[in-house]
Amino acid sequence: MSEFMTVAQVMARNDQMSQILTYEKRFEEILRTIEGFVGHSAWRDCEFPERYAVISHFNNEKASEEAFNKLMGDESMLQMERMLHSVPDVRYVRLHWKHGKSPEDVEISDLLSFSNQLASAGRSEELELDLENTFETLKGLAGYLGSFYGSNLNLEEEVIGVALWKTRRAFEASIPGHTTYEVRLFERIA
């Protein structure tokens, strides 16, 4: 699979949300000029509303790299970083498996569960297989919309998993009694 997604997370105060959405719209305008751009979406953490995530989807690595270069050279990115007094935490994800809808395909207020796990050296394939098996079982759940996993391009042992949900109840039905890793839930806002 040659698809790529960038997952950028940033912390912001609630009163900065409208400014973040303005920047997000500017970033999407830039991304739409790139051949290979598939889609873009913005999310807000359900448990920690000061955390936002922006996911951009590309059908090849070259488009992902071009997006990075264009966004880093844009004045609005610098303005956002100054406003937030921080830079976004960005993960470049090479997709290894995908099923159903992608983040940009779901409706506003749909949900996204996000996990990142660090495999022991040489064990990322085993972790990916476990995640694929988990995602395969989710396909039959009411309210499941889609999922994907992949590896962080900058740290191959880090495996990123994302599942999309219609309702919080559907998400909660997918979580066993406990997990050995953190799963964050986000709501789509743009």
**Residue recorded with tokens 């880090």:** 158
pTM, full prediction: 0.91
For residue 50, give the 3-state DSSP assignment: coil
How far apart CA 135 and CA 162 sit, in angstroms, is 9
Determine the pLDDT at residue 185: 97
How far apart CA 89 and CA 7 sit, in angstroms, is 8
Taking 50 as the pLDDT cut, the residues of the chain under it are: none
Count other C-beta atoms under 10 Å from residue 46's C-beta: 16
Please say whether the dihedral angle defined by the alpha carbons of residues 55, 88, 166 and 169, taken in this order, is positive or negative. positive
Determine the pLDDT at residue 178: 64
Determine the pLDDT at residue 79: 86
Euclidean distance between the first and final Cα of the chain, in Å?
27
**What is the H or E stretch that residue 169 is in?**
helix 168-174
Determine the pLDDT at residue 77: 83
Determine the pLDDT at residue 189: 95
pLDDT digit string, tens, across residues 21-68:
888 889 999 999 999 999 999 999 999 999 999 999 999 999 999 999
- Mark out the alpha helices in 2-160 (DSSP H runs): 17-31, 61-72, 75-84, 124-138
How far apart CA 65 and CA 26 sit, in angstroms, is 18
Q: Which of 129, 188, 130, 138 is nearest to 163 (CA)?
A: 138
How far apart CA 7 and CA 153 sit, in angstroms, is 12
